[in-house]
Amino acid sequence: MALMNVDLGGLSMKNPVTVASGTFAAGREYADFVDVAKLGAVTTKGVSLNGWEGNPGVRIAETPSGILNSIGLQNPGVEHLKEHDLPWLSGQGATVIVNVSGHSVQEYVSVIEALEESPVGAYEINISCPNVDAGGMAMGCSCASVEEVVGRCRTATERPLIVKLTPNVTDVTEIARAAEASGADALSLINTLLGMAVDIRTRRSVFSRVVGGLSGPAVRPVALRMVWQCSGAVSIPLLGMGGIATAEDAISFMLAGATAVAVGTANFANPHAAADVVDGIQAWCEEEGVEDVNELIGGLIC
Amino acid sequence: MGLEDMQARVHANKQLFENLWLMELECPSVAANIMPGQFVHLEVPDLQANILRRPFSIFDRDEDAGTVEVLYQAVGTGTRAMRTWEPGLVTRMIGCIGRPWEVPYDTERALLVGGGVGAAPLNLLCQELMASDVGVDVILGAQTEGALVCRARYERTCGREPACSTDDGTYGREGFATVLVEEALARAQAEGRPYDYAAVCGPEPLMRAASQLLMEAGVRCQVSLERRMACGVGACLSCVVDTASGKKRACVDGPIFDAEEVLWR
C-alpha cells in the first residue's frame, strides 16, 4: 500500500483528496454515497457570519464540458454550521476545512473567531467567488486587498490558513506571492472562471447578475497551468482544483505541483467521484510502484 | 430510505408522439421503493459536452418485473440523445429523490391536474389513491390530441376517461385545463362531495392558475416544481424555489410543495 497522507500547510490529510467548496454542502447530502471520513478532508460550503440568501433567478447553466453557476454563496450562517454540520462531521471522523466568506475584511475575521473553539482542521479564505458584489473575488484581485484580508485573518487564528485564489486576474503568481507574504499556509486554486451565457430569445443573460462562474472539465487545462505557475512562484503547498473528475486528473495536478486536490463539479455528475479519486490514486501508485504519494508532488518533467 | 446510485438498463424506448417518448428501465430498487411524486437523477452517458445528470419523475412501475417507466419530452441535448437509446443500454440513476405527494389521511375525494408531460408524476399517485378507495377525478391538458399520451393509462387506472382539454380543440375541451378545473370544482360542490386535496403538475402558469382556483375553493393543493438542477441531492443549491419560508431546494425539499407556500415567479 502506497503511503497516502500529505501535509497541506499544517493540515494533516490522510490522503490528498478533498472536495471543492460549494459542491458538497457539509457532506451530509453525500453521506449515502461517500464515507466522509475516507476523504483527506471535507471542505464545507462557503459560510458568512449571519448567512446570505444567494442570487435570485436561474442559478445554473450547462455549457460545453462544464457548468456556469450563479449561486451567490447562499448559506445559513456560521452558527448553523457550528450547531448542525461541524458536530456531524466530527462524529463521522472527518477532517474539516471550512470555507470562510465575507462581505468585508471584518466579516472574514468574525467568522474565523466564531469557529476557533469548533472542530475545524483549517480555514479556506474565499477571496475568489465571482458571484457576490462585495467580498469574494472583489478582494482577491489586487495584492493590496489580498494582503489586508489575509493579514487580518492570520492574526485571528493559529490554524492552517488556506487562501483560495481566483483565476480572473492578469497574473495569478502575483496574488499568490501576496497571500504567501501575508501569512497564508497554503493556496487553493482555482475558483471558477468568470463566464456568461445569453438567452437569445429574451436577449438577456441567463443569470440575474449577468455573469457566472465556469467550472468542470472545460476549465481543467487553465487550472492545471495556474497550479504549475504558482508552484514555481511560492514555497507554500497548493490545493489544486478545477475540473478534476478522475484519479488521472488528480495525479496530473500533483505532478504540476499540487500537494492535494479537490473534486468539485464532478460530484454532481458522479456522487462517488471524490471517493473514486482516492481509490484511483491509491491503485495507480501501486501499479506504478510509487511508495509515497508525496513523490508525485511537483514531479513534472519540464 | 437513503439515496442510491444504481445501474439502470433500458428495456424499451419508444416515441409516443412527436417529441414525447416513453422509456422503460430496469432498476428493481427504484421500482420497489419509489413514492408517488419522487424522481430519479439519470446519467446520460457518452455526452462529453454535457456533464450533468437529468431529473425525471417516474410515470409508472412494475415492482414484480423490477422496471420503471419515464415519460420524457425531447427538448434539449440530453433528452434528444436519450431518443437513440436502444434496449440493453446501461446507465446510472440516483433514486429515489425528494418529498412525495402528501395526501391528508382523511381525504375522500381528490383532483389530479396534469398539463403536458406534467401528467407523468401524477400517475403513481392516481394508482395509490384508487387503491385506497379515495374518489379521484383526473384532468389532463395538452396542446393537441396526439400529445394526450397519458390518457389511456389514466383510463386504465381510473376505469373511466379523464377530463381532457387541448389548446387547439382537437380533443376534449378547447382551451386550457383551468376551465375544466373550475367545472370540476363546481360539480363536486353541487354533488355535495367537495375535494379535500388536489395535485397539480404542468407548465408553471397552469400550476399557478389552477392552484389559485383550488385554494380559493378551500382545497388543499400541492404542486410539483422543476428547476435547473445540478447535483439532485440537495448540495449545490442550484434548484432553489422561493417560498413563504425562504429559499427551498426543488430536489430534496420538493419537488412537491404546498401551493400556498410557493411564491410564483
- Residue B102 is assigned to a structural domain of this protein: no
The tens digit of pLDDT for each residue in B104-153 reads 999 999 999 999 999 999 999 999 999 999 999 999 999 999 999 999 99
How large is the average pLDDT for residues B21-26?
98
pLDDT, chain B, mean? 96
The pLDDT assigned to A130 comes to: 84
Of A140, A115, A114, the residue nearest A125 (C-alpha): A140
Q: ipTM of the assembly?
A: 0.95
Cell numbers for B49: 459536452
Dist CA A19 CA A128 (whole Å): 16
- Residue A51 is assigned to a structural domain of this protein: yes
Report the gap between the CA of A56 and the closest CA in chain B (Å): 9
Q: The CATH number of the domain where B137 resides is what?
A: 3.40.50.80
Please check whether residue A46 is in contact with residue A75, taking contact to mean a CB–CB distance below 8 angstroms.
yes
Q: Based on the number of CB atoms within 10 Å of its own CB, is B194 exposed (0-12), middle (13-18) or buried (19 or more)?
A: middle
- Residue A240 is assigned to a structural domain of this protein: yes
- Residue A249 is assigned to a structural domain of this protein: yes
The pLDDT assigned to A187 comes to: 98
Inter-chain CB proximity B43 and A59 less than 8 Å: no
Report the gap between the CA of B234 and the closest CA in chain A (Å): 6
Same domain, B84 and B114: no
Dist CA A78 CA A99 (whole Å): 11
Percent of chain B with pLDDT over 90: 97
pLDDT, chain A, mean? 97
Better-predicted residue by pLDDT, B48 or B85:
B85
Q: Which domain holds residue A220?
A: 6-55+69-193+214-296
Of A141, A155, A160, A170, the residue nearest A229 (C-alpha): A170
Same domain, B74 and B176: no
- Residue A224 is assigned to a structural domain of this protein: yes
Dist CA A75 CA A56 (whole Å): 14
- Residue A91 is assigned to a structural domain of this protein: yes
Biggest CA–CA distance in chain B, Å, is 57
Biggest CA–CA distance in chain A, Å, is 57
The tens digit of pLDDT for each residue in B214-256 reads 999 999 999 999 999 999 999 999 999 999 999 999 999 999 9
Same domain, B186 and B60: no
Q: How far is CA A72 from the centre of its chain?
A: 15
> Does the pLDDT value for residue B1 go beyond 70?
no
The tens digit of pLDDT for each residue in A227-273 reads 999 999 999 999 999 999 999 999 999 999 999 999 999 999 999 99
- Residue B103 is assigned to a structural domain of this protein: no
> Does the pLDDT value for residue B47 go beyond 90?
no
The tens digit of pLDDT for each residue in B173-194 reads 999 999 999 999 999 999 999 9
Cell numbers for A188: 487553493
How large is the average pLDDT for residues B139-168?
95
Inter-chain CB proximity A268 and B236 less than 8 Å: yes
The tens digit of pLDDT for each residue in A32-85 reads 999 999 999 999 999 999 999 999 999 999 999 999 999 999 999 999 999 999
pLDDT-derived band of residue A138, with 50, 70 and 90 as boundaries? confident
Of B42, B34, B41, the residue nearest B91 (C-alpha): B42
Same domain, B91 and B115: no
Dist CA A36 CA A263 (whole Å): 13
Dist CA A224 CA A245 (whole Å): 13
- Residue B104 is assigned to a structural domain of this protein: no
Contacts of A96 (CB under 8 A, 6+ apart): A41, A42, A43, A44, A86, A89, A90, A119, A120, A121, A122
Same domain, B202 and B73: no
Number of domains in chain A: 1
Same domain, B138 and B240: yes
Contacts of B99 (CB under 8 A, 6+ apart): B37, B38, B252, B253, B254, B255, B256
Q: The CATH number of the domain where B88 resides is what?
A: 2.40.30.10
How large is the average pLDDT for residues B196-212?
97
Q: What are phi and psi of B260, to 5 degrees?
A: -70, -20
Q: Which domain holds residue B217?
A: 109-261
The pLDDT assigned to A196 comes to: 97
Same domain, B223 and B199: yes
Cell numbers for B68: 420503471
Whole-model pTM: value is 0.96
> Does the pLDDT value for residue A153 go beyond 70?
yes
Please identify, among B97, B120, B141, the residue that sits at the C-terminal boundary of a domain.
B97
Same domain, B43 and B155: no
Same domain, B63 and B32: yes
Check CB contact of B53 with chain A, cutoff 8 Å.
yes
A129 is catalytic: yes
Same domain, B244 and B171: yes
Q: If you count them, how many residues does chain A have?
A: 302
Number of domains in chain B: 2
Check CB contact of B88 with chain A, cutoff 8 Å.
no
Same domain, B212 and B242: yes
> Omega of the bond prior to B255 within 30 degrees of 0, cis?
yes
Please identify, among B97, B118, B143, the residue that sits at the C-terminal boundary of a domain.
B97
Dist CA A131 CA A118 (whole Å): 28
Same domain, B143 and B223: yes
- Residue B50 is assigned to a structural domain of this protein: yes
Q: Where are the alpha helices (DSSP H) in A131-265?
A: 137-140, 143-156, 172-181, 220-231, 247-255
Q: The CATH number of the domain where A262 resides is what?
A: 3.20.20.70
For B233, nearest residue in chain A (alpha carbons): A29
Inter-chain CB proximity B3 and A69 less than 8 Å: no
pLDDT-derived band of residue B198, with 50, 70 and 90 as boundaries? very high
Contact list in A for residue B237 (CB cut-off 8 A) is 45, 54, 59, 71, 74
Please check whether residue B39 is in contact with residue B29, taking contact to mean a CB–CB distance below 8 angstroms.
no
